[in-house]
Amino acid sequence: MLYIAICDDQELHLAIVHKALEHYLSEKRLVAEIQDFTSAFDLVSSSENGAFYDIVILDICLPGLSGTEAAKEIMQRNSNVSLIFLSVSRDYAVEAFAIGAVHYLLKPFTDEEFSEAMDRAVSRKGMAKHLMVNTAGGHVEAVDVDSILYIESVAYKREIHTDTAVYEETKQTLGSLMKALEKLAPGQFIQPYRGYIVNQAVIKTVSPEKIILSDDTSIIIKRGDFRRIRDGFLGWSFGNVEADNA
């Protein structure tokens, strides 16, 4: 799942970009959540309130707050965002690329030009996969999937333990979190025991009684499940080694 924002103060141009994006996603068989903005202030406010975007497509000349200024604000909270700028002029291209844009599209653009820009944004190395977490007070946090150590169901909340913090998920069940993680990172997460989800990437050892993670957390397992968990872990680990060496 990709999270994409489009920002253009002219509704006609916004609709054109939205339609081009839907066509691209359909052709590439990609799933995305798209949010449209006609104000750079609203886009930045959305980011400040916890919204996460993998890709932001925005006009560079926006009233009140320019596209580059808005992009800088967003990048303070998400340095991995892929930026595509739109403009009727080449005059701002140097400024756009100076802050890390992956592409600069001139209006009007062709389907091929838009597809090239999106290909660069989607394939950009280092784009993290994020799990959207509903925390107390109605806030939404974008948690890097690879930073998750384990998730534990505690009473009416799910505690998401990462390598730097603990988040309390207040709405989603353990089952729905597992489904979301499987879509983001197929095979990476397992449920070794009732009430737990574990990131196989941080498993240090698997014994007949427990799993020990990289932070030395121990999670018990049923003795009868040891071989299944061990073999699954070894298969997943070797599969990733082969993929890295390919």
Q: What is the CATH number of the domain that holds 8?
A: 3.40.50.2300
Sheet with 157-162, edge to edge strand ranges: 166-169, 157-162, 148-154, 196-199, 189-190
The residue ranking higher by pLDDT, 44 or 30, is: 44
Strand blocks (E) in 9-154: 32-37, 55-59, 82-87, 103-106, 130-134, 140-144, 148-154
> Final residue of a domain: which of 107, 123, 139?
123
Q: Is the pLDDT of residue 216 over 90?
A: yes
pLDDT in the model for residue 13: 95
Mark whether 91 and 140 lie in a shared domain: no
Whichever domain contains 221, its CATH number is: 2.40.50.1020
Mark whether 103 and 136 lie in a shared domain: no
Residues 118-126, mean pLDDT to the nearest whole number: 74
The pTM assigned to this predicted structure is 0.55
pLDDT digits (tens, 9 = 90+) for 44-79: 999 888 888 999 999 999 999 999 999 999 988 887
pLDDT band (50, 70, 90) for residue 245: very low
Pairing mode, strands 196-199 and 148-154:
antiparallel
Percent share of the chain, pLDDT over 70? 94
Q: What type of residue is 72?
A: K
Q: Is the pLDDT of residue 125 over 80?
A: no
Tokens of 80: 């991995």
- Range(s) of the domain holding residue 169: 130-245
Mark whether 15 and 99 lie in a shared domain: yes
Residues 150-177, mean pLDDT to the nearest whole number: 92
DSSP secondary structure string for all residues of 87-121 = ES-STTHHHHHHTT-SEEEESS--HHHHHHHHHHH
pLDDT in the model for residue 198: 96
> Final residue of a domain: which of 123, 149, 178?
123
Mark whether 139 and 119 lie in a shared domain: no
Q: Is the pLDDT of residue 163 over 70?
A: yes
pLDDT digits (tens, 9 = 90+) for 197-208: 999 989 989 999
Q: What type of residue is 45?
A: S
